[in-house]
A and B are shown apart, each in its own frame.
Chain A
Amino acid sequence: MVGIFGMYAFDENWEISRFIYFGILGCQNRGQENAGIATFNGEKLSRFADKGMVEEAFRNDEIFKGLPGWCGIGGVSAFTAENEFIPPIFSEKGNVAVSMNGKITNCEEIDPQIGKKPHGDMKIVANLLEKSIEKNNSVNAMKEVMEKIKGAYSLVALIKRGDMIIARDPHGIRPLVIGGHGFDLGVISSESAALDVTGSDLSRDVKPGEIFVFEPHSIEKDDQTFKNRNTYYCSFEWVYYARPDSIINGIHVHKARYKIGEFLAKENPVEGADVVIAVPETAFPFAMAYSKVSGIPIDLGFVRTGRHLRTAIKPTQIERIIGVQLKLNPIRNAVRGKKVVLIDDSVVRGSTLRNTVYLLKKRGAKEVHVRIGSPHIIAPCPFGLDVPSQDELIAKHNTEEEIAQIVGADTFAYLSINGLCEAIGLSQEKLCTGCFREKYPYL
């Protein structure tokens, strides 16, 4: 997964790199392995990217001095890659920088060599764009590229003639919003929360298939060429990826999560439980609603050690376990001798959940009933969600009862797919639920 951000000043007096920094910090939830920024100052494109959280990668002021300019883009990413492939990435000749969230599915047709490389798809888009801008204006260049690429993508590109190109795939799988900052700046981001962090105002979602171009003296737009395709918004955004303070495709994430908790309580009640506790932090709104509907009191179950990490998107098993162990120190008093409803957002491999249930039982929980705020994940995501291969997915190979035994819980239940769609408030036809159904809207 990738979080993307861009900011464009229509007044050259602005130095933009710090804004981009706080913008990608606001997207940190979408990727914690790498962070990068590229800027343009009228003469050259500059780029800095490194491994680590945003605050680690951009560790000193010197880095910002190397990023001059009034427009820039940034990215955070959740994968491990060579520096060259950390977003924003440069095109071959260095005339284009691209931050992209999603996955191009026909890479190998376009460029077999780069297409094979992990995360080569962003490079392919940058190269296509670089070629196309030589003979087209920026809107038409992006249009031409969009006619060639398939898959899911939300992207922001900075090109050397001083334009910023913004595009969202015609099916709108990955989120993207546009906003403004006073009279001087246009802003683009994966999530609206990053606009809040930079003090910008949300205008609206970039529509599926829509292209925007920020130019020094205008904003160009094409909302006609790729309009009226079916939209398949990624349902996992509302379950896990997006910040609860964001609005994704016009739907408040927190509201959707609260609703998920309500459905979870109705679909899978636990009779006579003493307490509801949430696995921090995504599951908090699920647990609040579960408690409200069921009448079972909610309590604080865990305290975190160290900084906030999103354990599910850590690349290796050992990192995930370390993450969970550090993240979750159970509060004895909250669970000892109690029949506990434990709420988590999702289960991928089950290993971290097993650890969590084990910790609770060790601290004296009498019973642990696990309720998951998403349907079972049984298939990988071809559109850029970091879901492991099928042989690693616990739900692909086990029933709920079997999973309960594996993780050491008394009972275990998922949210239904219908429950999820209803909680989000969109019909299944408008959502991508591919990882839950092993059936994708298109490929």
Chain B
Amino acid sequence: MIIEGGLMVNIKVLLIGGGAREHAIAEALVRSTFEPKLYALVGVKNPGIKRLVEKSGGEIVQGNDKDPKLAAEVAGKFSVDFAFIGPEEPLFHGVCDAIEDIAGIPCVGARQKPAQLEQSKAFMRRLMWKYNVEGRLRFKAFLNIQDAVDYIDEYAESVAIKPARQAGGKGVKVIADVQAYLSDEKKAVKEKHAQAVFEEHMKPYDDIEDRILIEERVEGPEYTAQCFTDGNIVEAMPLVQDAKHAFEEDIGPETGGMGCFSGKDGVLPFITIEEKMDSVKIVQQLVNVVEKEVGEKYKGIVAGQMMFTDGWGPTIIECYSRFGDPEGTSVLPLLKTDLVEISEAIIGEKLHKVKMEWDNTATVVKCIAPKGYPRRRDLAKDHPLAIDIKAIEERGGRVYFGSVSEENGQMVTKGSRAIEIWTNGETIEEASKKAESCIPHVKTLDGWDLFHRKDIGSPELLKKRIELGELQREIFKYRKAKGLVGRRIDWIPGKGKLEYIS
């Protein structure tokens, strides 16, 4: 970087990661008035990122984006001004630590220790209880399968069974165990799933000790509160709701997200501005307490994957140490403030000086995945794709490349959500309709089926979410009036009153 007349020129930025989210970050970076040269370290050659990098005059490097040494080397080689880290795994592996400590280059992204907020779900929960952060759920963490199974055996409850570590969003099973007459069947599934978490989902990870997390199951509309943070304050982005079920009508297996939407004025039809502020306050608290706990500032992106529950109101389901995918894709195109300026402010701890501006429209992102996703990625892999970007752009859509790579000039699917289509409009419904008109312009060349969720952003789905929100809100209001927020009081016959306290 050179400073000319008080202005930064010739800025160079290194982007780490090669998915649709990173494609959206890359786009936000290159549209900066500083016209930065963009460099990227990617696992697979994302065609979208490649194009942007080349256009900016930078370079794309293919390699293990989780390798801290390589990241520091690449950052040093191009002597970039800062690095922007997209996905969570590089953070967990200490990529920021290496770039900052070895190459001496600042990062937008959490260092390994504060990134534990996402890396270890057990760490995050303990932190919330230790520092009395609001919106916390009751949980138990297990080091071995036997203890987890014994626990499941003893307590018939509605639970979420999760890998104790972030495992690419996989391995979470939520089981409502309400009908006593179906408890035995549910118990069997819970135990089998705990086994699967232990043997499959947690198998690749030995960087944390806890293995299985069992949490109380809660209900309510979900939303993601993404924020920029310089370690001192958080700046909230528009709220986004992600669609987790693979298939329409909220049926089918959990995915990384089949799409999402955001509303005007930064809120959602089922979350009020006050509720958003309360949610952001929780994220702010998390940023503060994680520094207290690990002794390092949390800098970069932080997000609460939240739910509006009857027990707590805004409640943390999981934490992200990065943009959500696809939630990031929803909001990044709306960002009017210069992302390079924001990045510099995060690094220099001057975020309070930046005025955040967003284009005030509603957005919808729809993910297109090959059939087979999410449970049989082997079947969803290696299908050639044809995308008519021009036709999509003519319809007001933008294309973000996800799980695809360019091989010998041909785009092929890599097994996960291949393409994300972004649209905006005055209303979520309008954006959704626009997105639908774009979808037919993505096809496979071998006839393999692609699927997406038509219902994301549909009036029916929004109505359902609003109803669910109102139901939870009514109970929450009652609990608030009775002084019952976050409390559960039981009466055990013969023993007396029992209140669950940490």
- Tell me whether B245 and A183 are in contact (CB under 8 A): yes
CB–CB B182/A11 < 8 A: no
User: A221's contact among B184, B244, B248, B460, by CB below 8 Å, is which?
Assistant: B248
Any B CB within 8 A of the CB of A84 = no
Chain B residues with CB under 8 A of A14:
185, 189
Bound-state CA distance A194–B76 (Å) is 63
A:209-259 near B, CB below 8 Å = 216-219, 221
Per CB-CB distance, the 10 closest pairs between chain A and chain B, nearest first, are A203-B249, A180-B251, A219-B247, A183-B254, A13-B192, A186-B251, A199-B179, A10-B253, A13-B189, A18-B185
* In the complex, chain A residues whose CB is within 8 Å of the CB of B335: none
B244 contacts A183, C-beta separation under 8 Å? yes
Task: Give the interface of B toward A (CB within 8 A).
Answer: 173-176, 178-179, 181-182, 184-185, 188-189, 192-193, 196, 244-254, 371-372, 375-376, 379, 449, 451, 460
What chain B residues lie within 8 Å of A182 (beta carbons)? 173-176
- Would B251 and A219 count as touching, CB distance under 8 A? yes
Question: What are 21 inter-chain pairs, A to B, with CB distance below 8 A?
Answer: A10-B246, A10-B253, A10-B375, A14-B189, A179-B251, A180-B249, A180-B252, A182-B174, A182-B175, A182-B176, A183-B254, A197-B179, A198-B182, A199-B176, A199-B182, A203-B250, A204-B249, A217-B375, A218-B247, A219-B247, A219-B252
- Chain A: CB-nearest residue to B190: A13
A14 to B173, CA, bound (A): 13
Give the interface size class of chain A: 20 to 34
Q: Is the CB of B245 within 8 A of A184?
A: no
| B interface footprint on A16-42 (CB within 8 Å = 1, 0 otherwise) | 001100100000000000000000000
**CA of A178 to CA of B175, assembled, Å:** 19
Pairwise interchain contact A198-B179, C-beta atoms closer than 8 A = yes
* B181 in contact with A22 (CB, 8 Å): yes
Are B253 and A184 in contact, CB atoms less than 8 angstroms apart? yes
For the complex, is A201 an interface residue (Cβ under 8 Å from B)? yes
Closest CB in chain B relative to A3 CB, distance in Å: 18
- Are the CB atoms of B179 and A217 closer together than 8 Å? no
Instruction: Please determine whether B173 and A219 come into contact, CB atoms closer than 8 angstroms.
Output: no
Is A15 positioned at the interface, with any CB of B under 8 Å from its CB?
yes
Considering only residues 286-324 of chain A, those with a C-beta below 8 Å from chain B are none
Tell whether, in the assembled complex, residue B250 and residue A18 are in contact, meaning their CB atoms are under 8 Å apart.
no
Chain A residues with CB below 8 A from B178, complex form: 199
> Which residues of B have CB within 8 Å of A197?
179
The distance from the CB of A120 to the nearest CB of chain B, in whole angstroms, is 33
A10 touches B252 (CB 8 A): yes
In this complex, the member of A13, A178, A183, A204 whose beta carbon has the largest number of chain B beta carbons within 10 angstroms is A183
Known A183-B173, A199-B179, A218-B247; 10 more pairs at CB < 8 Å: A14-B185, A179-B251, A180-B249, A183-B253, A184-B189, A186-B251, A197-B179, A199-B176, A219-B247, A219-B252
CA distance A219 to B454 in the complex (A): 13
Q: Give complex CA distance A274, B258 in Å.
A: 61
Q: Please, how many angstroms separate the alpha-carbon atoms of A184 and B185 in the complex?
A: 13
Name which residue of chain A comes closest to B193, CB basis: A13
* Max count, chain B CB within 10 A of own CB: residue among A178, A180, A186, A199: A199
A22 to B183, CA, bound (A): 12
Query: Which residues of A sit under 8 angstroms from B175, Cβ to Cβ?
Result: 182
Are the C-beta atoms of B252 and A204 separated by less than 8 Å? no
Contact partners of B182 in chain A: CB under 8 A:
18-19, 22, 198-199
Could you tell me the distance between the alpha carbons of A182 and B250 in the complex, rounded to whole angstroms? 9
Once bound together, how far apart are the Cα atoms of A219 and B455, in whole Å?
14
**Using Cβ atoms and an 8 Å threshold, which residues of chain A touch B247?**
186, 218-219
A10: chain B residues at CB < 8 Å are 246, 252-253, 375
Min Cβ gap A347→B in Å is: 37
- Give the residues in chain A near B181, CB-CB below 8 Å: 18, 22
Which chain B residue has the least Cβ–Cβ distance from A184?
B253
Which residues does chain A contribute within 8 Å of B252, judged by CB atoms?
10, 180, 183, 186, 219
Q: Considering the chains assembled together, what is the distance between the CA atoms of A179 and B372 in angstroms?
A: 21
Taking each of B173, B179, B252, which has the highest tally of chain A beta carbons within 10 Å of its own beta carbon? B252
Query: Quick check: B193 and A218 within 8 Å, CB to CB?
Result: no
In contact, A218 and B449 (Cβ under 8 angstroms): yes
Write the chain B residue with the least CB distance to A181.
Answer: B176
Residue of A nearest to B178 (CB): A199
* Selected contact of A180 from candidates B245, B375, B379, CB within 8 Å: B245
- How far apart are the CA atoms of A218 and B196 in the complex, in Å? 22
Are B188 and A15 in contact, CB atoms less than 8 angstroms apart?
A: yes
Query: Within the complex, what minimum Cβ distance (angstroms) separates B369 from chain A?
Result: 10
Cβ of A180 and Cβ of B250 under 8 Å apart? yes
B451 touching A218, Cβ below 8 Å: yes
CA A19 to CA B179, docked complex, whole Å: 11
